[in-house]
Structure 1
Amino acid sequence: MKRSGDISMHCLSFRGFLKDDNRFFKFIVAMNDHILMGDIKSNPNAKINWNMPNTKEYYNFKGKFYIASAPIQVTRFPPPKIMDDEGTAQEYWEEQRIHQWQELDEKSRAVFTWPSRAEVPRANDIAFSCQSLNSDTSIIHDIAMDNFCLLVYKVTDVEYFDYSCYPPKRLLYTYSLKSNSWDIQTSNP
């Protein structure tokens, strides 16, 4: 929800679960995506809807967004603390961010040099002028890497609805910090 009370919707590309804690979803985003970043800064609490039309299942997640950005970037919502035996939370998230960056292909990396989403370029095709990061200029690579953020979503509640069977089933999952496990309740479909 925006500060104005309007609902804000974004399509995010799911990049996987955090291997150390599967309550965390990973997405990637550009630091200069002012629309999405503004919405997260306005209210980091959000809902994610995941529909699976082939299996007729719905997942509605409640949780909170965190931003793992380049160390030179300043964000209001740093990534959550993760219990890690080695290093600090900042080092942990920077390793995660770099790992995700390395999994991207060259064209996907180049996108992080482009202007903000929906911004109208001042000159024709200037937004797409950087097509390759393989050139000798490491400055372009640094700009893209500094603009690259790992967007982390920590799930706290899940509503699962399956209408492939009769009667349909609806399950509610709530994470309990006390027991470090999910509490499951069956609800009326």
Structure 2
Amino acid sequence: MIGSNDYPVPWNPLLTNAVKKNYDSSKNEPVYLQIASVRSNGTPKIQQIVFQDFLEPDPRVLIFSAATRNAELMGVIKSSQTHEIFWQMPKTRETFTLTGRIYIVATPSLSHRFGSPPRRITLANPDSNSDEFWESERLRQWRRLAPTYRASFTWPQPGEPKASSRPRGESWSVYRDQTSIRVPPPTIDTGFKYTRLDAMEERAVGNGPTSPGGLVGTLGRMAIGAVGGSAAGADKGDELRCVHNSAFDNYCLLIFKATRVDHWKPGAITPPERTIYVSSKDGAWTDEEVNP
């Protein structure tokens, strides 16, 4: 495939075909991968992210998803210029080790925390507004999520003590400024209550404001499954909408632009094959076969 500056991206068709062979897209199940980074104190860190899609206009780019409330993951991504993702295919057993840079695309109201959307990436329409494109893409990917995975964005912050050791009524959001991100009020203690969450129409909850991110349009019909009844003092419909809106604000895209790809492919009879692809500063890719 052709990437930025009309240079071919030779590893992209290999990865695309591997994904088609190894995963059933009709099941809409999350594809979990491991990302290796370095903490600010120099110690290594491996965390889990979810593959979402390829960016068709720019074959160098892969789209992943994560939760902005995952403070450690967000901090690691922001503090390092380079990250590495290891992807082992479950059926063919081939592996792709991708090295590159990650950009965070969060709800626009959090742009002051995570920076502006990526700029040096090829879009389908070069004249389109970058901010509008990425918010539209975040919405599109949100709609594509499996309902069970979407529900995970209502859950408490990873790595924090369970609710039994948390002060009662404390919001799960890592962001305490509720003018920047919508969080359920103390009367709605979500915990792990929601196990299924379908996209719903965006509108105000009660007399409250609409999304601070300026979300426009319809996300489709809503159906949600939960364990237990609605929280005391909250109308069920408003509670569901509040939970949905805060989950969407918690959802972010990780835009990964690869600069190096190490592809290892096992052989049935012959030795494994291994090829390393490296991008130059002008965008041209070179490939070299190396010992496995």
TM-score greater than 0.5 by the shorter chain: yes
> Residues 65 and 253 of structure 2 are in contact (CA less than 8 Å); yes or no, is this contact kept in structure 1?
yes
Cα deviation for residue 126 of structure 1 reads 4.5
Q: How many angstroms apart in 2 are the aligned matches of 1:181 and 1:173?
A: 10
How far apart, CA to CA, are the structure 2 residues paired with 1:47 and 1:29? 16
Q: Which runs of 5+ in 2 are unaligned?
A: 1-37, 169-188, 199-221, 223-235
Name which one, 1 or 2, has greater alpha-carbon Rg.
2
Q: Deviations over 1:71-106 (max 9, x none)?
A: 111334543213433422111111110000111244
Residue 139 of structure 1 pairs with residue 242 of structure 2: yes
Provide structure 1 residue ranges, at least 5 long, that are not aligned to the other structure.
Answer: none
What one-letter code is carried by the residue in structure 1 that aligns with 2:67? A
Equivalent position of 2:141 in the other structure:
100
Q: Which moved more, 1:24-33 or 1:126-135?
A: 126-135
CA distance in 1, matches of 2:289, 2:80: 30
Offset of 1:44 from its aligned partner? 4.1
| Whole-Å separation in 2 of the counterparts to 1:77 and 1:102 | 24
Structure with the largest fraction of strand: 1
CA RMSD of aligned residues (A): 2.3
Asked whether 1:87 is paired with 2:128, we answer yes
- Return the TM-score normalized by structure 2: 0.57
> Using the alignment, how far apart are the partners of 1:105 and 1:162 within structure 2?
30
The residue number in structure 1 matching 2:272 is 168
Judge which range, 149-158 or 83-92, deviates more: 83-92
**Number of equivalent positions:** 187
**1:155 is aligned to 2:250:** no
Matched with 2:95 is 58
Deviations 1:8-54 (A, max 9, x none): 10122211211221211111111101121121122141111112354
Provide the identity percentage: 33
The change in CA–CA distance for 1:39 and 1:99 in structure 2 (over 3 A counts) is same
The correspondence for 2:193, drawn from 129, 137, 152, is: 129
The 1:146/1:182 distance shift into structure 2, 3 A limit, reads same
